[in-house]
């Protein structure tokens, strides 16, 4: 089963060779002689797929470039390095979870959350955004970042705790 993000990348291919390449990249490969290790790898892949799905999918850098109107893909990667965009890496693919976009712009809360947890991996931040924190109760950060300033401040405050 191909992850949603990989399907999105494959569908946006510009020609047949690119489509075939993107489909091949999207099919997870598990190579392990140890059945327990293979199971761990399969569980990690499934967990990442669930997080991407809960985030509303993901875009590749070219799609983000078009969405935000950047001139180059390098500008998209620079925004990620500068903690202005959330990026996760999956088996060599650099993906940008859809939850951070509102139309053709980045939600204002995203750079603030990234700045609050600068040493935390993209996957850990994504997990926090889609799963939440006990201190936030049943409300997920992904929902709070769409609300008022007080809600965004709560998300940022709890994101700071991820550095610990």
pLDDT in tens, 84-103: 999 999 888 899 999 999 99
Tokens of 36: 């327990």
Residues of the chain with pLDDT under 70: 1-10, 13, 15-33, 164
Give pLDDT, residue 71. Answer: 94
Name the DSSP class of 105: E
Q: Beta-carbon neighbour count of residue 145 at 10 Å?
A: 22
pLDDT at residue number 135: 77
| pTM of structure | 0.75
Q: What is the pLDDT of residue 90?
A: 86
- What does the block give as tokens for 85? 């965009």
Residue of 153, 71, 65 lying closest to 101 (CA atoms): 65
Q: Are 84 and 112 in contact (CB under 8 A)?
A: no
**Would you state the structure tokens that stand for residue 107, as one six-digit string?**
């939600």
Q: Which pLDDT does position 121 carry in this prediction?
A: 93
Q: Please list, in sequence order, all residues whose beta carbon lies within 8 angstroms of the beta carbon of residue 51, skipping any fewer than 6 positions away.
A: 123, 126, 127, 130, 131
What is the rounded CA–CA span in Å between residue 155 and residue 132? 9
**17 CA to centre of own chain:** 26
């Amino acid at each position: 089963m191909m992850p949603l993000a990989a399907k999105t990348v494959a569908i946006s291919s510009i020609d047949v060779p690119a489509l075939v390449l993107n489909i091949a990249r999207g099919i997870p490969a598990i190579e392990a002689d140890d059945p327990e290790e293979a199971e761990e790898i399969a569980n990690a892949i499934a967990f990442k797929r669930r997080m991407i799905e809960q985030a509303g999918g993901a875009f590749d850098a070219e799609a983000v470039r078009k969405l935000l109107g950047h001139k180059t893909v390098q500008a998209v990667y620079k925004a990620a390095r500068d903690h202005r965009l959330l990026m996760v890496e999956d088996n060599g693919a650099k993906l940008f979870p859809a939850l951070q976009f509102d139309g053709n712009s980045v939600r204002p809360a995203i750079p603030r959350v990234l700045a609050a947890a600068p040493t935390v991996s993209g996957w850990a931040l994504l997990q926090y955004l889609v799963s939440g924190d006990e201190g936030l109760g049943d409300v997920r950060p992904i929902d709070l970042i769409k609300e008022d300033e007080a809600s965004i401040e709560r998300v940022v405050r709890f994101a700071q705790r991820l550095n610990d």
